[in-house]
Amino acid sequence: MEKKEKKNKSIKQKYQELEEKYKVLERDFELLQEKLTQQEKEASEYLELLKRMKADFDNYRKRVIKEQTFLVERASRGLIEKLLPIIDNLERAINSSKAGSDFKTLLSGIEIIYQQLLEVLRKEGLEAIDPQSEPFDPECQEAVLSEARDDYQDETVLEVLEKGYRLKGVLLRPAKVKVCRNFSKENKEKMEKS
């Protein structure tokens, strides 16, 4: 009997230990459930915040695009308003030429209109690139022709075929030029022999 009692005590003791472990596990489980609920709540709050931020960003992007479009249209409008008097003067020149004006007067009027146009464009930041007799610069010039000449230094612009332009310092179009190629006497002799 003693063995049975010891065995029963041992079983009861193990049962109590298991029951205590079960209670600890049950508390841990409840704590984990609370933590999970808390984490889900935070995740939900973050998701809502992210959705609001996305909507705010989309609205901001749309507003910036609208403002940029407005600014471009406003700048274009300003330039066009400045060009209107030039259009008027061109129309007058055309009508005058139809009425039989003399050529010198027509040419003089067109030159004045050309200067008006250049002045408006200069004020807008347009700058002509006219490198006549200057050293060739591949960054703002395009060599479309070359000519062998001894009376100019090698790589000198002989002729500007088409002016280049910069707008507020940024290259719009390179100048198209004819460049001098100076050949030494040896190269000339080689070329003549071939």
Q: What fold characterizes domain 1-124? A: Hemagglutinin Ectodomain; Chain B (3.90.20)
- Dist. CA 182–CA 176, nearest whole Å: 19
State the DSSP code for 150. S
Specify the pLDDT at position 149: 85
How confident is the model over 53-112, as pLDDT tens digits? 999 999 999 999 999 988 888 878 888 888 888 888 888 888 877 777 677 888 888 899
186: pLDDT strictly greater than 50: no
The conformational region for residue 178 under phi > 0 = left, psi -120 to 50 = alpha, else beta, is beta
Would you tell me which CATH number, out of the four given (3.30.1490.110, 2.40.50.140, 3.10.105.10, 2.30.22.10), belongs to the domain 127-194? 2.30.22.10
Q: Minimal CA–CA distance to 173: which of 185, 184, 162, 182?
A: 162
| 182 against 119, higher pLDDT | 119
| CA dist list (Å): 137 to 129, 131, 140, 148, 157 | 11, 9, 6, 18, 9
Enter the pTM of the model: 0.56
